[in-house]
Structure 1
Amino acid sequence: MNSSLNAMEVAQMLNITKNTVYEMIKRGELPSYKIGRKIRVDKSDVENYINSQKNTFISNSMASFESTINMKPSSVKSGEIIISGQDIILDILCKMIESKTKNIRTYRSNIGSYNGLYDMYNNKVSMSSCHLWDSETDTYNTSFVKKLLPSIPCILINIAYRTQGFYVKRGNPKNIKNWNDLSRSGITMINREKGSGVRVLLDGKLNSFNISNTINGYKNEETSHLSVASCVARGGADVGIGNEKVSKQVDNIEFIPLQKERYDLVIKKTDLDNPVYKSIVYILSSKEFKDELEGLGGYDLKDTGKIVGQT
């Protein structure tokens, strides 16, 4: 039976507001139905929407998407800032950019870190968030930026640190504690899509521990932390991987911490002469931005706004 979601669950799955969900339903972009007086949306319809929107760009203006037009530009246009990434932090950043700069519209590209850097190389996005772990150096992001944006000098500004770990059912009935447990018989996992930071982390760990990727469920994919946690909560898998913050949003989920990741924003050095990008760098290091993130909870903000890497 298809899983049914309420408006708030859809909003969390898409990293948007509940009002935006209602607007999408009103415009016919998202199928829905009523149970009593409550609007419900099938999870499969949300997933179909996500798949249809890959590599399109969704406005995050202060009008809360009311004038959104899905776009697939060949390059970033003047007066636009397109930020690639999936964390709700980027919604806050977009809102602050629009409130503090004139004649700039911000857009979000809701794709994973690897594909975001690739699109940045091809000038399809202005900046990309990144949380890619390099198993060879046990470091985050810098080596991937060098590989995916060759000969393009960039700076990496820290947004936050997030804790990644396992989502298991409350009580951890299968006693899953570490990476090696994924290969145990009787364990089924739910994976993330290729190009996501979680998928890169998983594949790196499997390689480091010489674990075969023939794990039960390895080929079963979801496109967000929330979808992974929800799958585990309803018994679709025994374990998934995601960040700690999302685990607190899903009932019947327990979080097993494994690794703290560095979540950065990548900006081309050539863009830093542009007053708009100077304003963005200032926003990232501002007390106002940090206060907004502290209000969300679940993030380590010790280096927020600091340049933590260069290429």
Structure 2
Amino acid sequence: MNSTSLTPLEVAELLKITKNTVYELIKRGELPAYKVGRKLRIDKEDIDNYIKSQKSSSISSPDTQQQEITLNDIPSEKNETKLDDKSIIICGQDMILDILSRNIESSLPSIKSYRSYMGSYNGLYNLYNNKASIASSHLWDWETSEYNIDFVKKLLPGIPCTIINLTYRTQGFYVQKGNPKNINGWEDLKRDDLSYVNREIGCGVRVLLDGKLRELNISSNEINGYNYEENSHLAVASAVARGKGDFGIGIEKVAKQIDNIDFIPLQKERYDLVIKTNDLENPIYKQILNIINSDTFKDELEGLGGYDLKDTGKIIAET
């Protein structure tokens, strides 16, 4: 096949996705890209490979005669939309954030709401660096057994933040149908007859796993498959279903979407939104809180199933 160079916009049109999603695929290393001058280009062959395999790819290194790309070289949603009173960027991967984004645009027609599909750690980092308006977080601290609060304090030092609950989700192991390896809980991480499907650095699942390894005094070098990473709950569940690994961690809701998967519940996690406290004085953010607390929004989430909405809209902490 002759390699044809495409722009991010052309790739977006080809894949029927937004241009911002193309940038996210490049940032996460799922779609190789290179620079011609200051412009990004993607080879048609790499797009075909992405469609066929859905496997993560590494951005080319300098010795391939393609310029190495850093994340700063890739236009972010902030750079394109100029994060201001006319745009909102929400970081996180759960589908309920897509619903929130849609409700924001419906309630505030003059506001454009963008989604950035990155993990919790990187979302908080972007919030600190003014590259995001709102970050979702489900980061478990193995020393305190608490979610999010300590991470917000550490990753946004000196910046007052308000942590608002969105939902509770059940985290657990995805295992093959019938659980042929008899996997039951965290202690099974010590077994050398199992292969694991991991998540990328910076996401809440990876932080949870690494914390549990510390708690159980297990080295990551002892985990067969620790370096095999997928970039979503859905991808991990699919990999286990296809026999790419014996087990992996994810949320219960996704397990119900994949054939040949059983779910072993481990613990309930708190999934929160983090907003800079000063921003809450802005009428736009006040309306966003009204949306989260509205019966309409909660009813829509209730219809999805798999979410515990007992504290939705509740202020968990102010740091």
Do Structure 1 and Structure 2 share a fold, with TM-score over 0.5? yes
Residues 138-197 of structure 1: per-residue CA shift (max 9 Å, x gap):
111111000001111111111100000000001111111111212212110010011000
SS at 1:42 equivalent: helix
- Indicate the residue corresponding to 1:154 in structure 2: 161
- Displacement after TM superposition at 1:299 (Å): 0.4
Residues 2-54 of structure 1: per-residue CA shift (max 9 Å, x gap):
xxxxxxxxxxxxxxxxxx996249x9999469xxxxxx931336x45999xx9
- Displacement after TM superposition at 1:70 (Å): 6.8
- Indicate the residue corresponding to 1:296 in structure 2: 304
- Indicate the residue corresponding to 2:207 in structure 1: 200
Aligned-pair RMSD on alpha carbons? 3.0
Residues 220-272 of structure 1: per-residue CA shift (max 9 Å, x gap):
11100011001100000001000000011110000000010000000111001
Code of the residue aligned with 1:41 in structure 2: it is I
The 1-side partners of 2:59 and 2:169 are apart by 24
Code of the residue aligned with 1:227 in structure 2: it is A
**77, 91, 104: which one aligns with 2:98:** 91
The change in CA–CA distance for 1:166 and 1:72 in structure 2 (over 3 A counts) is same
The 2-side partners of 1:204 and 1:79 are apart by 39
Q: Tell whether the 8 Å contact from 1:130 to 1:197 is kept in structure 2 after alignment.
A: yes
**104, 110, 115: which one aligns with 1:108:** 115
Within the alignment, does 1:138 sit opposite 2:138 as a pair?
no
Q: Tell whether the 8 Å contact from 2:89 to 2:115 is kept in structure 1 after alignment.
A: yes
Give the TM-score of the pair, scaled to structure 2. 0.79
Within the alignment, does 1:118 sit opposite 2:125 as a pair?
yes
The 2-side partners of 1:229 and 1:206 are apart by 21
Q: Tell whether the 8 Å contact from 2:240 to 2:261 is kept in structure 1 after alignment.
A: yes
Please list, as runs of the form range in 1=range in 2, the aligned pairs for 1:11-22 lying within 5 A after superposition: none
Give the TM-score of the pair, scaled to structure 1. 0.81
SS at 2:291 equivalent: helix
Code of the residue aligned with 2:212 in structure 1: it is K
**213, 218, 229: which one aligns with 2:220:** 213
Paired positions, count: 274
**251, 269, 280: which one aligns with 2:259:** 251
Residues 99-143 of structure 1: per-residue CA shift (max 9 Å, x gap):
111411000111000000001000000010000001111111111
Q: Tell whether the 8 Å contact from 2:78 to 2:89 is kept in structure 1 after alignment.
A: no
Q: Tell whether the 8 Å contact from 1:55 to 1:111 is kept in structure 2 after alignment.
A: no
The 2-side partners of 1:70 and 1:279 are apart by 25
- Indicate the residue corresponding to 2:283 in structure 1: 275
Q: Tell whether the 8 Å contact from 1:156 to 1:267 is kept in structure 2 after alignment.
A: yes
Code of the residue aligned with 1:23 in structure 2: it is K
The 1-side partners of 2:220 and 2:154 are apart by 24
| Deviant stretches of 4+, over 6 Å | 27-30
The 2-side partners of 1:72 and 1:289 are apart by 26
Within the alignment, does 1:306 sit opposite 2:299 as a pair?
no
The 2-side partners of 1:50 and 1:138 are apart by 36
SS at 2:270 equivalent: strand
- Name structure 1 gaps, 5 residues minimum: 1-19, 34-39, 57-68
SS at 2:271 equivalent: strand
**52, 55, 77: which one aligns with 1:42:** 52
SS at 1:41 equivalent: helix
SS at 1:156 equivalent: strand
SS at 2:250 equivalent: strand
Moved more, 262-271 or 94-103: 94-103
- Indicate the residue corresponding to 2:172 in structure 1: 165
The 2-side partners of 1:55 and 1:172 are apart by 40
The 1-side partners of 2:59 and 2:107 are apart by 30
- Name structure 2 gaps, 5 residues minimum: 1-12, 23-41, 61-69
SS at 1:161 equivalent: strand
The 2-side partners of 1:129 and 1:205 are apart by 21
The 2-side partners of 1:132 and 1:138 are apart by 10
- Indicate the residue corresponding to 1:261 in structure 2: 269
The 2-side partners of 1:84 and 1:48 are apart by 22
